Amino acid sequence: MLHQIPLEKTKLTDEFWSFYIKTIKQNTIPYQYGVLNNSPHVTIENENKKDFFENQKSNALENFRVAAGISSGGHYGMIFQDSDVYKWLEAVAYSLHINPDKELQSVADSVVQLIAAAQTGDGYIDTYFQVKEPRLKYRMLYSGHELYCMGHLLEAAAAYYEATANTAALQIAEKVIDHIDSVFGCDDDKIQGSDGHPEIELGLLKIYETTKNPKALRLAEFFLDIRGKNTEFYAEEMAKNEKDGLPIKMIKVPDLKSYLVAHTQPKNMTEAVGHAVRMLYLAAAMARIVHHNSDREMLDACRAIWDNVANKKLYITGGVGSTTDGEAFTGDYDLPNDIMYCETCASIALAFFAYDMFMIEPKAEYMDVIERALYNGILSGASLDGIHFFYVNPLEVNGRINDENPDHGHVKRIRPQWYSCACCPPNFARAIGSVQRYIYTADSENKAVYINLFADSSVDCDGIKLVQHTSFPYSNRIKLVADSAGECTIKIRIPYWSRNFKISAYGKSIPYKAENGYAVLCGKWNNTVMDITFETPVMAVKASSSVIADANRIAVQRGPFVYCAEQLDNPQPLSRYRISAEDINTASVSLENCVLGKIPFIDIKAKTEHINSTDLYSFDAEAVYKNHNLRMLPYYAWANRGDSDMMVWLHQK
């Protein structure tokens, strides 16, 4: 069995990711703490122009103070506002784990104390229900998010304990688990249902992995089994509230059962449906539990969901969720580029799911998707300053349409400072803040270490020490130094986007067996220096012919980076450019005038088409073709230089 390498056993020194780790520590974490404390300098936007709720402040920490009796007043914000605090705390934990910081730790300790103060004697904690709707406690699992919030609390507690060895958060978590155990379960006097938004399962599993508390594993198994067992569970909850004269508090969704990912039991699921984040948090927990209980039925379901997402419902950017209506998956190969959802949280959830699949069966296909999401659709979730965030990550925007067509009301072109529903910003901080966990993975039983991602970094695990000296992604050469106490195996991922992938030592090529997308090297290493080299040509990408939205279109990728064209760099409207695979293959890579660090622009010899007519439709209008350079930049870096149209899938010549 593979296992995760503790964060502190990996040192990340590379330029690309260290920039983000540092930005999150220096900018994102303090900024978000300010927001959670109602910083007056933050402009909060709705995630969709159509929404009517308009929160003017976060109030998340104040809600805890009110619940704790420290402040007076009411609850403010979304029903799941607590989770913003927990995700922020988890991000802080990773930051402290990597870079200890007393001042930050004392701020975080005070937040943990505040959470403890808000928790009731029986272990319950949810400021919305404590302060605003006590009569609805556990009566609206369809939309209450209580267990969702508690799940994030458990994740944060596990991370916080791991980072600081401070058991305060873990004690809160253990009380939460005892409380949940007293309320939920198969007994007749307990609630036989799970939260409409999966997350508690992941939280319980992380606590189990930290403390080995069997109750946590048992509860995770219970929640993963009970979901969808009675497909009318949530409808019955609503009916009961209505009957008892209580408010329903449920938004209109296309289909309740699939929106809540409770249309069937997890073990019977065969595809990704419904709300994308819910589906993928659930799938991650399903895969993660297989790691512990080796449930074959569940593994089969995980594989089916994976196959469906990765091969039929995944954007080239690592985005998922084709519609804003229910923030949901739609049908196979339905991947519109301009009105999709591609929520940052959904790409993060996808990376979690892929990671948990990889831990069961270490194949490159899982790491390929993690990498696709990390370097593209997750990173695009925040600006380079780390304090502006996208909820929705489009593959094509046109400002004119965006402003005037309500079907595009959820698509933004400038990252806001914060959202009425602020799930994505702290999720970004915790996901990217722990990015180094993906670089190496250990298989202690087989004395093997996997190198999944290239980055200047080192790992020391199970008596195997590996150091990557590289300026990747700014170069294509990794000097790998390996040292081991005895015989062991090094498995190096052969990236699908690399060409001419070679491993050599002291000038001699090292033959390797390729297995599941990894180059397998067995041996005893004594400060052995190896060279890993490959090429990263500019590559033309074609989507499957089944993807109607990408028909007659072509995309550009170099290394792990998907590229896009921004209007800012190009004189003609983007829809007028025409490129071919040949143009892309002969593109030039330019560092000149690159305003966004070292990642190069790509310049492609394109043609533009202009219909020489003022008529809306014309028969004989001359199509004028001109040669034009098309300048592209990495997708993750778009929208960092002001308002601009953008396009990933360009029209094909």
Give me the residues that bind its own copies (CB under 8 A), please: 49-50, 52, 252, 254, 310-312, 314, 316, 322-326, 328, 330-334, 336, 339, 398, 400-401, 403-407, 409, 497, 539-548, 551-552, 555, 557, 573, 575-576, 578, 581, 609-611, 613-619, 621, 623, 651-652
Based on CB atoms, which residue is closest to its own copies, 551 or 594?
551
Nearest Cα to Cα of residue 437 among 166, 206, 121, 275 = 206
Based on CB atoms, which residue is closest to its own copies, 407 or 487?
407
C-alpha–C-alpha distance, residues 405 and 4, integer Å: 46
Based on CB atoms, which residue is closest to its own copies, 522 or 611?
611
CB of 623 to its own copies, least distance (A): 7
Geometric angle at alpha carbon 560, from 559 and 566, rounded to 5°: 95
Based on CB atoms, which residue is closest to its own copies, 212 or 252?
252
CB of 239 to its own copies, least distance (A): 17
Q: Say how many C-beta atoms besides its own lie within 10 A of residue 257's C-beta.
A: 18
Identify the DSSP state of 338: S
CB of 519 to its own copies, least distance (A): 19
C-alpha–C-alpha distance, residues 437 and 358, integer Å: 13
The active-site residue out of 149, 342, 421, 423 is: 423
Which amino acid belongs to residue 133?
E
Which pairing describes strands 553-558 and 650-652: parallel, antiparallel, or unpaired? antiparallel
Rg, Å, the chain Cα set: 25
CB of 514 to its own copies, least distance (A): 18
Active site residue 423: yes
CB of 204 to its own copies, least distance (A): 32
CB of 354 to its own copies, least distance (A): 15
Mapping DSSP onto H, E and C, the string for 170-239 reads: HHHHHHHHHHHHHHECCCCCCECCCCCCCCHHHHHHHHHHHHCCHHHHHHHHHHHHHCCCCCCHHHHHHH
Nearest Cα to Cα of residue 451 among 414, 495, 402, 409 = 495
CB of 140 to its own copies, least distance (A): 20
CB of 618 to its own copies, least distance (A): 6
Characterize 408-439 residue by residue with b for buried, 16 or more Cβ atoms within 10 angstroms of its Cβ, and e for exposed. Answer: bbbbbbebbbbbbbbbbbbbbbbbbbbbbbbb
Q: Are 373 and 315 in contact (CB under 8 A)?
A: no
Active site residue 327: yes
Nearest Cα to Cα of residue 129 among 277, 262, 249 = 249
Beta bridge partners of 520: 491, 513
Spell out the alpha helix ranges (H) of 294-423. Answer: 296-312, 344-360, 364-372, 399-404
C-alpha–C-alpha distance, residues 249 and 370, integer Å: 35
Q: Are 478 and 503 in contact (CB under 8 A)?
A: no
Based on CB atoms, which residue is closest to its own copies, 246 or 539?
539
Which amino acid belongs to residue 88?
W
Tokens at 207, concatenated: 């606590």
Beta bridge partners of 558: 561
The active-site residue out of 45, 133, 327, 566 is: 327
Burial of 622 (0-12, 13-18, 19+ CB in 10 A): exposed
CB of 409 to its own copies, least distance (A): 8
Q: Are 173 and 160 in contact (CB under 8 A)?
A: no
CB of 434 to its own copies, least distance (A): 27
C-alpha–C-alpha distance, residues 578 and 587, integer Å: 14
Tell me the catalytic residues: 327, 423
